[in-house]
Every structure is written in C-alpha cells, then in structure tokens.
Structure 1
Amino acid sequence: MKVRHSRFSVGVILFALAMLPTMAQERAAQIREKLLNRNLHSVIVVSHRADWRNFPENSLEAIESAIRMGVDVVELDLQRTKDGKLILMHDSKLDRTTTGKGKVSDWTLDSIKTLRLKNGCNIKTIHKVPTLEEALLAAKGKIMINLDKADRYFDQVYELLQKTGTTEQIIMKGSKPAKEVKARFGKYLDEVIYMPIVNLDKEDAKRQIDVFVEDMRPAAFELLFVKDSNPLPRMLADSLKGESLIWYNTLWDTMAGGHDDDMSLANPDEGYGYLIDVLGCRIIQTDRPAYLLDYLRKRGLHD
C-alpha cells in the first residue's frame, strides 16, 4: 500500500508540474475577461515600461520580471528602425536608454542589436534592445500588453500579433475621437481592446466620454486630471460604473490629482486607496508595481 501511495503522489506531482506552463498561458485570457466583464471586485495592475526599477525599461528581462511579480499588464513603447522593424523604445532617440546616439529611424535593426541598454541610473547593462516580436513571444499567454505609440503603424503591429498568436493580449490607447477610431481601427477591435484617453480638465471631456460610451462602449477609459477640485472624477465614478472600467496613472502628481506613487509610499490609503474607493478606479498604472501589489493583496483586491 505504501508503494502504491508513493507512486500515486509522484504521479500527482508530475501532473501538476506539467500543468504549470498551461496555467501560465491561460493567465492573459483571465485578465482580458476581467477587462471585458468590467470586473469591479479586483484592481488590475499595469507596470509602466515593465519593471524598470530592476531591469532596463522596455527590456525582455523587465517584462519577465513583471510576469513573475504577478503584474496584469505591461505598458510598452514602440519605435520603428530605418529598415522598418518595430522595436521596444520609448524615445525617438537612442541616447537616454542605450549606448547609441541619434534617432532610432536612422539606425537599422542589426546596428541597434549591437547596443546595450542602460538602466535607470544611466549605467550600461548586458541587456539588448528587443524587437516587438521578441516581446510578444516572451509575454505570450502570460500577461496583457498595453502598446503605446502603436497607432502610428498598427497595420504592421497587427501582422506581428497574428504571427505570434497574441492578438487578444493587446490594449491600444489613444486620444482620437470615437469616429476616427472606428474608421481607422474598427476591423481590429473584435480582438484588440481599444482604450480612449480623456483629459478631464478639458471643457469637452464629459462629451467625449459620452460619445465613446454610446458609440463603442470601451472596456476602460484612461482618465487624467491635475487637481481634486475638478468634480468630474467623482461624477464618473458613478456614471461609468458597469459601463467601463476606470484607469488612472500614478506615475507623477499631475496625472491623478496628486494621488501618485510618491503619495502612496507615504500613505497608500490616501494615494491608491483614494483612487479605488472614492474615484472608482479599477486599473492603476504604476512605477511601483511590487508596492502596489502588496497593498492590494492586503486589501483582498488582487490574487
């Protein structure tokens, strides 16, 4: 009996180990469902330029670190090389984040691959600039991706999404009117999630939101405001409930009324907690993903 029990235990362990890759591959689909279902019971964590505090921004290693951490979405930036290849890069120039100099558009991919990425302290690392395709394969099935600056060449982006089987992992955002979004990107929106960005300090902000809700009913809005004296964030916490999720950025103080990462380090309830409890936020983009995840898990708002 002991021998049989031992064999059974080993079999269970081996089966569980074999299932781990499949479970990881399913995680992106679960996050997508939270978005599309407008889930209000948890908070989705977006890591700005992936985990740039531990690895160079927009690097494969930063993406992989965010996945291990339990982040839901990585925000990544795109540029295009002289020979038409899409790479991960925030700036139009290489100077700040790599050992190269000059415009990305003046360098071929082969040349860029000879460079090294710099970390947040401007120190050269062993890491290299990834292509979008490499990033998609690293993230496949494991995490959602918010592609910034992608609308400039989205036909080319979509070809890579199809090639890598990642079309349903992408969140694209922009400030274009609803009519233009439907005209330019409508054929992709059954798979790719489009999220409007609306500056709540502009006079027509409420009208922009109303038009998007009526015409497209987006899964989420990225909202921006400078000061708490603006009444619109509180109003939208009620009016968008059940219609669209609300995304706020805590990267610096002018993006969400001062309720940023710095405030949250001093008092997370005044920073993150205010956005969640008072303004109905259920998606937070942060430069402090580990700290935010710890806060949310203590409150039962993240796995």
Structure 2
Amino acid sequence: MRRISLILFLLLSACFVFSQEKAPLPETKYKLAVIAHRGNHVKVPENTLESVKAAIKSGADYVEIDLRTTKDGYLVIHHDGTVNRMTNGTGNIKDLTLAELQQLKVADKNNPTKKTYRIPTFSAVLKAAKGKINIYLDFKDAGVTETYRQIQEAGMEKQVVVYVNKIPQYREWRKTAPGMPLITSVLEEVKNKEQLTFFLEQGTIEVVDNIYDKEMVATANDNGVAVWLDVQSDHEGADDWNQALQRGIQGIQTDHPEALIAYLNKSGLRNGLGKDLAKEDPYTKYKKKTYRELKNIKYGQAPGDENRFDAYFPKDMQPNARVIVYIHGGGWTGGDKEEFPKQLIEELVGKRGYLVVSMNYRLVKDGQDRFPAQIEDVQKALEFIAKNAAKYKYNGNEYALMGGSAGAHLAMLYAYGYDNAKQVKTVIDLWGPTDFTDKSVRPDGSNADKTVINFLGEKDENAQVAKDASPAYRLTKETGTPTILFHGGEDPLVNVSQAQNLYQKLQALGIPAQLEIYPGEKHGVGPASAVDVFTKTFLWLEKYYPAK
C-alpha cells in the first residue's frame, strides 16, 4: 500500500470536520487481524480474484485490495494508476474502459505465468468475499457514493473497512456512510503521545497503520483506535512479526498470510499481545466525562443554526464560574461551532472548571449578512449569556474571548471596539487578521483580498468600513485587553505581519501581550505546534483569567 498520510482537518483552523461516534470494525474470529496484502499473491498475481480466493484459503481475516475507476465509470481492483507493471498492456486505468481492461492479462513481469488472470471488478470481489473474509479497501481513485452503493448491494456493510488517502475522501465517507470504519496513516511529525492524542481528536478514525512506539500504540488504544502495522515484504519473517507483536498491536498486514498464521499458531499468538478493543465498554468515554453539554442554544433570531451556541459545564460547577467564549473560523462564510477541539473542552471545562461556549454567527452568503452582522451576533450571544448567569450560577460579567482565523478577528474586534462595559478580560488569537487597510498583505486578486472584499462589501482598503472592521484600528490604551497571539510563519492567507504589527501596538500601549510564531506553519498548525499552543494558552489563562 502506498503510504499517503491523511492530514485530518485541524479543528483550530478555519476548517470544519464531520465528527461522529466510532464505527465498529468487522467481526473476526481472533482479536489479532491478519491482513493479506493485495490478496495472497505468493503464487498468483496481486489484486486478482484468484488472490482474494487464496487469501480466504490462507485463513486471513482481511484481504487488502486497491480500488480504482475505469474510463466508463466501473470500479475495478488494481494497485497502480497504470496497467504497465502488472499487465501486458499500457495506459492509465482511468483512461481505459472496462472492456479494454478485461482484455488484458494480469501477470507480474518479474514472475511470468502461463495461466490467464484478469483485472476483477469490485462487485466480483465483494461477491467472492461475502461471508468468507473481510475487505480492507485502499480507496485509491473512486467515487464514495457508487462504492458504498455496491457494498450495500452486496450486503457487505459489516465486512469492509476503508483506508482513506486524502481529506476529501474522509469527509465524503463520513457524510455518505458514517457507519463505515476508516483507516489512515498518522502524520510523520507526530512524535509523542500528546501529539498523537491531538491528531486522533481531529476526526473519527478506527485504525491507524504506522505507529511503532509501544507507548504511542497504547495511547491510540486508549483513544479507542486500533493499530494495524504493515510488515509486508518479500523477505518478511518471524523476527519482523514478533517485533510488531511486541508493540501490542491489533493487526498485521503481510505478503505471506499462510506463513504468518502458521507462526502465530505455533507460538500461541493467534490473538496477538494487544488490547482487545472489541471488548471495550462503548460507554466508557461517557462515564469518564467530566463535563455536561447543552447543544444548540438559541440566542438570536437568525434562521437555521447561525444564532446558536453549544455550552459545556463542569459536572461540579462552582458558583461564579468564569466563561470562555470561542468563535469559529471559516472566512466569515463557513465553519461551525463544532470545530472547538474536544481536548480543550476536557482540559478547560472538566479539569479547570471554566464554562465554555462555542458559538455560531451569521455567515456572508450571496452578498447578504456582511460586516457588521457577525460582530452584532457576538454582542447578542454575550448579552444572552449574561442574562442567564443568575439562573445557572456562573459569572456573567466577565469573559475570555478565543477564536480561530475569522473568529479570532471577531474576538479581537469585539474586545477592542465594542466592549463598552470592559467585560472581556483577555483575548486568545489563533491566526486572525487584524488590519484590513494593509494592502501589502492582500494584493489584488489574491485569496486574502477576495475574502476580505466579500466580508466587507468594499474593495477600497482606505474606506471607513475597512478601518471600522480592523482590530488594529480599534485598539487604544483605553480599549486594549491582554492578548496572546499565535500565528504560522508561512501563513498564505493571513500574513504573519498582521500578528506582529498588532503585537507591537499592544506593547507600545503598555497592554500585556504575547506573540508566538511557528516557523514553517501555514494557516493553522500541525499536531506538534498545536500541543505548544494549548500549553501556552493554559499558562496565559492562569495569569490573566484564572478559573478560580
């Protein structure tokens, strides 16, 4: 299998991830899954119907196959994007019809055979596997809707797990078939269990395949995620298998399923040495939750869910608990309150005792609800929170505002320009724009420029509305509030100078400020930097907005 890491959406960025409960993996006789890589192709060519049948005969729990689409829209099984390596033909799968492909003879040119093998259709493989072996589907190049339709038609919904290679694939599978278990690879930059926990929280994944540290395997398992390692090679053997097993994994992908199973049986290791996740109590995480949720609370009259927020309360909330309000990103045209990271909820609410609100607001659509609609919604939300403070016994007179991208802009703008009662005690800025009058960072025709013009409804950077909507212009000695700013050094959408210039003004005005720049990071940050963002956010809050 080609190792293409899936960069799951980072929830602190301006993106939104579909989240859901974990899907159950297909049932297996043993708790250690043996996966026949591209079928059992020791004696027959890979990804053929015969290799699938050989995998069944070997006793493997899964057969790993690669899915592609023909020129005329049929789903077929083939690893490479071309037929050059494994057939007597040439050309791209996507440029050949099913009829043309089925005329080709499949055979490894390094291991010729007299018997004729063909490229199989996905439907033929599903039929051969049903009730006999589970499918590990490497989703190379296909449509989710048609793939899932064929899986359903074959009655194989509970016998398939899908490896996703790209972000759009993840999103589409979660939208189309939320009950389908998914596999992916962890980013190379994820080096420790804290970073791994962050990565795994960015979406819903059932299996990862490239964790080799025993402690990180345990961390994945603690998050309900299985680890299936790839050991496949022409020369794999007992040393490779035993080394993988000692890490406490739940599955092994192999080019020699018969030999591996024989080794496992002889060694008494057919169930492996890892945690049996199938026996885990599915309600464990709910029992461990240290906070309560109130979803979709309506604070205004905008249609749909644009004037709604989610609130997270400590289970044992103390009287006069302090409130943190999070405002999502999305270029003022997208995003959702669900983007607030679950790790932060657990830490801020469950462990530290804050009440956290994550809010939606009106989005710019078809030229409607441009600025200042969004800042008006922030004001409405805070008024609503204050109005209900006595009822729920939290502090409705003080707030910390935190936002990502466009949400960070709104947090800073409200604090510096609209907080007449001086209720905002601190702002946490996650790569937000600060000055719309700075044309140098949004040249004509750039994505940054188009986004700002759509938000303001004004092209002229010197227009009054550009100044009115800029936190840097609204910031004065009187309106300033302690602010911590986080930014990627190579942010292509919001230039890092936006944070640097605001930080310099905060310092010049004598307002407490801290600037954290992450070289190499773009708009949003990866897992390693995110852990640092979290840590410094907690330290900042302890100093300028302590929970107690």
Give your verdict on TM over 0.5.
Answer: yes
Residue in structure 2 matching 1:91, options 71, 80, 96: 80
SS of 1:115's partner is: coil
1:125 match: secondary structure: coil
Q: Which is further off, 114-123 or 164-173?
A: 114-123
Residue 169 of structure 1 and its aligned partner are, at CA, apart by: 1.4
Q: Pick 1 or 2: higher relative contact order, CA cutoff 8 A, min separation 6.
A: 1
Deviates more, 1:54-63 or 1:104-113: 104-113
Distance 2:251 2:76 in 1: 26
How much does 1:274 deviate? Answer: 1.8
TM-aligned CA distance change 1:207 to 1:185, over 3 Å:
farther
Query: How do 1:220-239 residues align onto structure 2 when only pairs under 5 Å count?
Result: 220-223=207-210, 233-239=213-219
Which residue is equivalent to 1:273? 242
Give TM-score scaled by structure 2 length.
Answer: 0.41
Q: Give structure 1 stretches of 5+ with no counterpart.
A: 1-29, 226-232, 253-260
Cα distance, 1:206 vs structure 2: 5.0
What are the equivalent positions in structure 2 for 1:138-217 lying under 5 Å apart? 138-150=128-140, 152-176=142-166, 183-199=171-187, 201-203=188-190, 209-211=196-198, 213-214=200-201
1:121 aligns with 2:120: no
Quote how far apart the aligned CAs of 1:132 are.
0.6
1:142-161 Cα distance to aligned partner (Å, 9 max, x none): 11111113464212211111
Please tell me the residue identity of whatever aligns with 2:172: R
Count of equivalent residues: 246
Is the alpha carbon distance of 1:181 and 1:135 closer, same or farther for their aligned partners in structure 2, counting shifts above 3 Å? closer
Cα displacement string for residues 69-97 of structure 1 (whole angstroms, at most 9, x for unaligned residues): 10001110122111111111111111211
Q: Which residue pairs with 2:267 in the alignment?
A: 299
CA distance in 2, matches of 1:65, 1:182: 30
Give the 5 Å matches for 1:10-159.
32-34=26-28, 42-119=31-108, 121-123=111-113, 125-150=115-140, 152-159=142-149
CA contact (8 A) 2:38 2:46 kept: yes
Return the offset for 1:68: 1.1
Note the C-alpha offset of 1:205: 7.2
Change (3 A) 1:181 1:61: closer
- In 2, the alpha carbon distance for the partners of 1:209 and 1:189 equals 25
Higher helix share: 1
After superposition, the Cα gap between the structure-2 partners of 1:234 and 1:204, relative to the gap in structure 1 and judged at 3 Å, is closer
Residue 79 to residue 218, structure 1, CA distance change in 2 (3 Å): closer
Aligned equivalents of 1:89, 1:113: Cα separation in 2: 12
Q: Higher mean Cα deviation, 279-288 or 181-190?
A: 181-190
**What is the distance in 1 between the residues matched to 2:179 and 2:255?**
28
Give the Cα separation in 2 of the matches to 1:240 and 1:136: 30
**Greater Cα shift, 282-291 or 201-210:** 201-210
Which 10-residue stretch deviates more, 237-246 or 209-218? 209-218
The structure 1 segments of at least 4 consecutive aligned residues displaced by more than 4 Å after TM superposition are 203-208
The answer on whether the counterparts of 1:175 and 1:198 sit within 8 Å (CA) in structure 2 is no
1:246/1:283 contact within 8 Å kept = yes
**What letter matches 1:251 in structure 2?**
Q
Q: How has the CA–CA distance of structure 1 residues 301 and 105 changed in structure 2, closer, same or farther, with 3 Å as cutoff?
A: same
Structure 2 counterpart of 1:236, one-letter code: M
One-letter identity of the residue aligned with 1:113: Q
CA contact (8 A) 1:172 1:192 kept: yes
* 2:48/2:77 contact within 8 Å kept: yes
Deviations for 1:236-262, whole angstroms, at most 9, x for unmatched residues? 13323352221110125xxxxxxxx73
The answer to whether the Cα contact below 8 Å between 1:81 and 1:105 also exists between their aligned partners in 2 is yes
Question: 1:44: Cα distance to partner?
Answer: 0.8
Contact residue 164 and residue 170 of structure 2 kept, 8 A: no
Residue type at the aligned position of 1:92: G
RMSD: 2.8
Q: Distance in 2 between the 1:251 and 1:82 partners?
A: 31
Following the alignment from structure 2 to structure 1, what is the Cα–Cα distance between the partners of residues 141 and 102?
24
Following TM superposition, by how much is the alpha carbon of 1:123 offset from its aligned partner in structure 2, in angstroms? Answer: 4.0
Task: Check 1:235–1:131 CA distance in 2 against 1; reply closer, same or farther (3 A cut).
Answer: same
Hey, what does 2:412 align to over in structure 1?
A: none
Percent identical pairs in the alignment equals: 29
Q: Please say which of residues 54-63 and 92-101 is displaced more in the overlay.
A: 92-101
Deviations 1:247-301 (A, max 9, x none): 110125xxxxxxxx73x53xx1x32112112x11120001111111111111233
Residue deviations 1:88-127, cap 9 Å, x none?
Answer: 1111111211122111222211121122111461445312
Q: Tell me how far apart the structure 2 counterparts of residues 150 and 99 of structure 1 sit (CA, whole Å).
A: 22
1:245 match: 226
- 1:285 paired to 2:253: yes
Q: TM-score, normalised by structure 1?
A: 0.72
Conserved? CA contact 1:58–1:88, under 8 Å: yes
